[in-house]
Structure 1
Amino acid sequence: MDQVNIGLKLLRPPTLTPAEFKHLIRRKGWRMADVALRWNVRPETLSRVAADASRETRWDDAVRALPSLLRRERAAVTAARLFLCPPRPRRSPPGHPDHPLTPSAPTVVALPAPWQDEEEPEPYASLPDGFRYQGYVGLGSELAVISDIGSFVQEGAVLLVVDVRLGVGSDGEAQEEYLCESAHGHTLWLDPEQMDDWVVFTGKTRQGF
């Protein structure tokens, strides 16, 4: 019976919590978007997997098997992702590059159809990198904080998306950014890279937005 118990622990290990899942990815030196490309899944799909406390064991095994990256390797992996899946060309922003874009007409970003079959992932390159949360996270979405965000909020807090804007990434590419409000009424804009590192979507959306 002892042998069976040992075997059961190996076949049915405890599932990593959402915080443990993303923390392990970060501790190994990876960004969520880079891991998504390595596994040939969409970033928002990986975010859903991370937030699922009852995910299949194979996902936890995949995270544990990720090689650890040095800082220069992490930068190289991100550079390679942007080379393989470059952002779509967009209008240059007016003024300072850190300012949000203010186009005269709404910018429409076409995304692939919602994920259907994770056994047959669609090409990652079809998703504009800076808009990987569009159609998945929006007004009223609840985001669980999985790592302290400076003095803004601590791990375990829940943020509410109260606004969305078109912004500019560090490389000048367009991206969608999310204004997140804490339970204390404080707000902070998060870009896709920060979303990868600090929050996961809870799957809940509050009405009235």
Structure 2
Amino acid sequence: PFDAPSVSHYYGSIFLIRIIQLEVKELVPMAPEAFKAEIKRRGWEPELLAVRWAMSKRRVHQIIADGDRPRYYDDAVMALPAILK
């Protein structure tokens, strides 16, 4: 657990101090298989994603295969709108 800075409150002649404990979890990227499955589940193909993200198909495939990709790509895939066929 991570001890956040104390939060202080003053109530008349009573001064209260409270310690807030936060649990910080490690951000783990989606596995390449899970990343690819999420893209497909939402109705997307890497070729369409390349157009939407304004990058080459090759770059999209590199991102999918990279198990150590930046977390913002995971966030971007989770926020993709579903394509209804």
Give the structure-2-normalised TM-score: 0.72
* Aligned with 1:20 (options 5, 18, 34): 34
Q: Specify the code of the residue in structure 1 equivalent to 2:71.
A: T
Q: Specify the code of the residue in structure 1 equivalent to 2:51.
A: L
Name the structure 2 match of 1:37.
51
SS for the counterpart of 2:76 is: helix
Structure 2 distance, partners of 1:40, 1:17, is: 23
Q: Specify the code of the residue in structure 1 equivalent to 2:81.
A: P
User: Which runs of structure 1 show a deviation greater than 4 angstroms over 4 or more consecutive aligned residues?
Assistant: none
Shift of 1:23: 0.4
1:55 aligns with 2:69: yes
Structure having the higher Rg: 2
CA offsets, 1:121-166, max 9 Å, x none? Answer: xxxxxxxxxxxxxxxxxxxxxxxxxxxxxxxxxxxxxxxxxxxxxx
Shift of 1:24: 0.2
Name the structure 2 match of 1:76.
none
* Aligned with 2:82 (options 49, 65, 68): 68
Of structures 1 and 2, the one scoring higher in RCO (CA 8 A, sep 6+) is 2
Structure 2 distance, partners of 1:29, 1:13, is: 26
Percent of aligned positions that are identical: 33
Shift of 1:52: 0.6
Structure 2 distance, partners of 1:43, 1:62, is: 16
Shift of 1:13: 2.1
Which 5+ residue runs of structure 1 have no aligned equivalent?
72-209
Structure 2 distance, partners of 1:18, 1:69, is: 21
Structure 2 distance, partners of 1:45, 1:70, is: 25
SS for the counterpart of 1:35 is: helix
CA offsets, 1:158-189, max 9 Å, x none? Answer: xxxxxxxxxxxxxxxxxxxxxxxxxxxxxxxx
More helix as a share of residues: 2
SS for the counterpart of 1:61 is: helix
Alignment of 1:1-209 (within 5 A): 1=2, 2-3=21-22, 5=23, 8-9=24-25, 12-71=26-85
Which 5+ residue runs of structure 2 have no aligned equivalent?
3-20
